[in-house]
A and B are shown apart, each in its own frame.
Chain A
Amino acid sequence: MEAYVFSNLLVAALVVGGVVLARVVRRDRLWSEAMGELWRRRRGSILVVAAFVSIGLLDSVAWKGGSVVGDDLLASHEARTVVDRIFQGAKESSYSAPLASESFYGGEALADPGGHWLGTDLLGRDVLHRALKGVRVALLIGGLTSAIAIPLALLMGVGAGYFGGRFDDFVFFVMSTLASIPSLLLLIALIMALGRGTWQVCLALGITGWVGLCRVTRGETMKLRELDYVQASLALGVSHARIIVRHILPNLMHLVVITLVLLFSQLVLSEAILAYLGIGVSGSWGEMINQARNELSREPIIWWNISAAAAAMFTLLLAVNYVGDALRDVLDPRTLRETT
């Protein structure tokens, strides 16, 4: 199966999953009230995040064929995404300023004068196109890494907090060890060992990123385990596995959601740092910024490349943090109780 088919199926699965999740949230009164409150507080930020997610999804739906402007033989045999198809305007040969009608060096006429809203880069690629393609990469880094780090953190944290004893000692040892290695060095070492690529970078970020949530869930589980309703469940003959699934995990969910949002922005930033060191994910904003760093010293300055990447990253992270901040207020059990 070709990669683009897999990607399409994944998008379909994500959309279906999102709809199912929305229905579950809608049916559960506590969650639907919290989400309603979140929407009232942070409508703008939610819309920005939703726009970014839509772009990321549109950039993941791809198919072959279709018309190609300017006899680009290679392009007509590649699977191109919806975003690619929107930006299939003629390629330029090198830099051009935003909305310019001639190239930046030399002043030659452009193939698509005025058509590049954010200009073109060294290789003549449309900067807006690249910035938008970076959305998918950023979401992939944040999402995939969270998908690795959060289950790992929950498994270790809840296990350690609930059962204690040897397992707790082991988990605590691993956490302390990871925390005492400078995370950037560890990341570099892991990526060197695993090889470069999206999966590898996400795995490395995941391995270094789970400790924080694990620490929180371990502590919270220890607290919950001692509460009377866990004791009451034991007295009713409920098994440990069921207590964890029914009583511990739901009471940890608000922590997980908040951590997910905060972890996400932290991960996108970490990737930018990795890209700066030359070991990031290809196509990311970090890579754009890294490639653009020499352009800043040119005269006249080439500013649009780095600005586009930085602005896109800034907007996404600001919106995510705004939503995350409100989410923390909304999901805090104390405020929850006050609103009902």
Chain B
Amino acid sequence: MTAAIEVEGLSVSFPGPDGRQRVLEDVGFRIAAGEVLALVGESGSGKSITALACMRLVPKPGRIDTGRVALEGRELLPLSVPEMRSVRGAGLSMIFQEPMTSLSPVVTVGDQVAEAILLHESVSKRAARERVVALFESVGIPDAAARTNAYPHQLSGGLKQRVMIAMALSTRPRVLIADEPTTALDVTIQAQILELMRDLQRETGTAILLITHDLGIVNELADRVAVMYAGKIVERAPRRALLSDPRHPYTQGLLRSIPALARPGERLEEIPGVVPAPDDWPAGCRFSTRCAIAFDRCRAEVPAERALGPDRSSACFALEPEAGS
């Protein structure tokens, strides 16, 4: 079966003081139709760059060095610019983090969503507008017909994010990339939006790449999880397995730092330090500088990703059978 989206060996670099600096190294994953893969990691781990690289929207002067991205078997990286433009929106769509700034303030929201439809399909303006109203209803915007004439500043953050989702789904994409879709929203609205995304995803069978640092959202929505650290995927597993039995020390650290799982009255555990900047990445395992169980080999060699069972893998020397000494 061809995956809805398949990414392999994706590397992205930016020019730095000493030549090009890799910010993403050898990232790969595949998502089947109707599946949700969550990409989890701290700020600066390369989640958003992965998303942009899939869309071929890496901001200049960044560049995709190697790798391949295939959408339902169709290679995206060799496509010409106009061909890629027709894929964006139609086959592969994206929801952004900030609903406040993701809509143009001087165009009505209905027109903005209609624009996406008109761009990719040859339908009349009237038909496009009718679709917009239907879409607004399906994403749960009350009084949908009137709201199409509203300007973004007249809508609340939750409604704006619903508009963004309607826009991203307007062309029935096969894959939807959601970059922290609920980070900018209130907790109650977050729950509504997540529920909406889950419902829509079941209805349409769209594959979703969910980018987040919030493990609560992962638990709500994801089927499988990939954990990213410093430009690399360090662990991947089905959601339940990852949340109940994390293997990689980084994943374990992430889970221990969730307030809900800590015991009341106790100080919350944290992973010391921050994700090092790309020009600061240590030799060997990139997590070795912050890892509590790191040993000499971790600082010298780069651990490869190894299977740990069906559908799960991790890149850590401590998990290898011969290690442990």
Q: Chain A interface (Cβ within 8 Å of chain B)?
A: 29-30, 164, 227-229, 231-232, 234-239, 246-247, 250-251, 253, 333, 337, 340
Could you pull out 23 A-B pairs where Cβ atoms are within 8 angstroms? A30-B106, A164-B60, A228-B97, A228-B101, A228-B102, A229-B102, A231-B102, A232-B94, A232-B96, A234-B57, A234-B88, A235-B55, A235-B88, A235-B96, A236-B93, A236-B116, A236-B167, A237-B86, A238-B89, A238-B119, A239-B85, A250-B107, A333-B105
| Contacts between the two chains (Cβ within 8 Å), count | 73
Select B115's contact among A227, A231, A234, A238, beta carbons within 8 Å: A238
Chain B residues within an 8 Å CB radius of A239: 85
Contacts of A228 in B (CB 8 A): 96-98, 101-102
- A237 & B96 in contact (Cβ 8 Å cutoff): no
Q: Which residue of A lies closest to B57 (CB)?
A: A234
**Alpha-carbon separation in the docked complex, A253 to B107 (Å):** 13
Which residues of chain B have C-beta atoms less than 8 A from A247's C-beta? 104, 107
- Minimum C-beta distance from B309 to chain A (A): 36
Distance A239 CA – B98 CA, assembled complex (angstroms):
22
Measured between beta carbons, the chain A residues less than 8 angstroms from B120 are 237
| Interface residues on chain B, size class | 20 to 34
Interface SS, A side:
helix
A237 touches B57 (CB 8 A): no
CB-nearest residue of chain A to B99: A228
Binary flags per residue of B76-108, CB closer than 8 Å to A gives 1, else 0:
000000000111111001101110011111110
- The answer for the CA separation of A233 and B116 in the assembled complex, in Å, is 8
Chain B residues within CB distance 8 Å of chain A: 55, 57, 60, 85-90, 93-94, 96-98, 101-107, 115-116, 119-120, 151, 153-154, 164, 167-168, 171
What 7 A-B pairs are tightest by C-beta distance, nearest first?
A237-B88, A237-B89, A236-B89, A235-B94, A228-B102, A228-B101, A250-B106
Q: Chain A residues near B55 (CB, 8 Å)? A: 234-235
Tell me how far the C-beta of B308 lies from the nearest C-beta in chain A, rounded to whole angstroms. Answer: 35
Q: Within the assembled complex, what's the spacing in Å between the Cα atoms of A235 and B168?
A: 9
Which residues of chain A have C-beta atoms less than 8 A from B88's C-beta? 234-237
On chain A, the residues within 8 Å of B167 by CB distance are: 232, 236
Indicate if the CB atoms of A30 and B119 lie closer than 8 Å.
Answer: no
Also in contact, A340 and B101, with CB within 8 A (given A232-B94, A237-B90, A237-B119): no
A30 with B151: CB separation less than 8 A: yes
A216 to B: closest C-beta gap in Å? 17
Nearest B residue (CB) for A28: B106
